[in-house]
Structure formats: structure tokens, C-alpha cells
Amino acid sequence: MCGRFNVIDDPRTRDLLETLGIKARLHTRYNIAPTEEIQVILSEDGAPRLRNMLWWLTPGWVKEPGTRYSMFNARAETLSSSRAFRAPFRHQRCIVPASSFIEWKSEDGHKVPYDIQLQDAAFAFAAIWDHWGEGAEAFHSCAIITTEATPAFRAIHNRQPVMLPRDCIQRWLDPEIEGSDLSDLLQPMLPGELEVFASDDHINNSRHKEAPRHLAEPVRLG
């Protein structure tokens, strides 16, 4: 799963945006949690653009927004069958740029947070988006897609966000491509070697917006 992530305006995220032809910069933020507003990249008028969205998908057909159901992640296995996800999956796809994400592992009865980074690049998480409401009440929202963990990642968790390689991003964003033709991108894979840092549990509280405090040298996966 993916329940917290960090974004840093640094050479890695700038390189991701430049690769997509985006001149804007990301805002540095730590310990981003579901229901918060985040920056995503989607295709508008044939080109990638940055847009702010709520990280908690609200289907356009619901009568009113709510958080009764967990809608910040969307399982890859049910994208085509879920009433909430199947329409966005067809043509309303985006990516969530991230510098790292947090995952928890139970160790000796204690939940240990791990800060997970790509060794030399920013993440591009596959996501879907939807639009709700009209006029002043209207907003966009999104969900990060998760899939089964790779054998290497299972040491941390049995699910992982779908992490797109750079050369697959444009294909994922293209609204002319049917979601059903992108199933190969949703398979468990890693876009590169991961660095996994055991971190201080200060980050367990989503109100704490400081950078993760790493407790040891990273373990490498991938």
C-alpha cells in the first residue's frame, strides 16, 4: 500500500519534471497523508501538466464527498471491475511524483516506519483521477494504484505502489489509450534499486511534517 509520502524540490524531482517538459517546480512537503492536497501530473491538451488534487478519490457520481471508504489507494487487480475506479482507469490517469514513501513493518510488536527511496531518481506513482461537483464546490481527486509486492519488496510489505519507469510515463498518461491496454504496467516491478531507511516513529503521526529521521544506513532492495 502507500499511505504516506514525501516530496522534495531537488535535482531528482526537477529531472522528472524536465523529462516530461514541465517547467514548474514541486513544493517540498513531508509526511503527506491521505485527504491532503497533492501535486499530480496529468495530460491536458496533449501535454503533461501539474495540477493540485485531493489525495482521496471521490467518484463523480456520488451525491456528496466523504471518507467512509478508503479511497486513497486503488488495487490494480480491481481497476476494471470497481464501480469507483473503472471509468477513471479508462482515460483519467495521472502520476504522483514523490521523493520517497513510508511503509510500516511490525517488528517485535512494534510498528517500525521505513522511508523508501529510489537510489538515483524520483518516483512516478501510477494513479487515477476523477472530478466531482460543479461551480465553487468542484474539485479533482486521485488515488495511487497499488499492486502485489515484488519478491524483494515483500521483506517490507505484501503490497507496493505501482512505480512507473520513465519510459512508460507518457504511455500511462495518454488518455487516448484504453486502461485495459496498460495491464503490463501494473505488474509487480521496481524501476530501479531501492534504498530503505529505518526511521524514527515520530513520523507515525501525520501532523508531524518534518523530514524522516533515519536511524541507520539504508538496506538496498532490487
Task: State the catalytic residue, choosing from 64, 77, 103, 168.
Answer: 103
Task: State the catalytic residue, choosing from 2, 94, 142, 168.
Answer: 2
What is the Cα–Cα distance from 84 to 99, expressed in whole angstroms?
A: 28
The full set of domains in the chain, from first to last, is 4-103+120-195 (3.90.1680.10)
Q: Residue with C-alpha cell 516513529?
A: 201
- Burial (0-12, 13-18, 19+ Cβ within 10 Å), 96: buried
Pair 204, 113: CB distance under 8 Å: yes
The tens digit of pLDDT for each residue in 14-42 reads 999 999 999 999 999 999 999 999 999 99
pLDDT of residue 70: 84
pLDDT of residue 10: 97
Confidence of residue 172 (pLDDT cuts 50, 70, 90): very high
The tens digit of pLDDT for each residue in 36-84 reads 999 999 999 999 999 999 999 999 999 989 888 889 999 999 999 999 9
pLDDT of residue 67: 85
* 103 flagged as catalytic: yes
pLDDT of residue 2: 85
- 132: its cell numbers: 466531482
The tens digit of pLDDT for each residue in 188-218 reads 999 999 999 999 999 999 999 999 999 999 9
* 2 flagged as catalytic: yes
pTM: 0.96
Confidence of residue 106 (pLDDT cuts 50, 70, 90): confident
At residue 143, does pLDDT exceed 90? yes
- 111: its cell numbers: 510498528
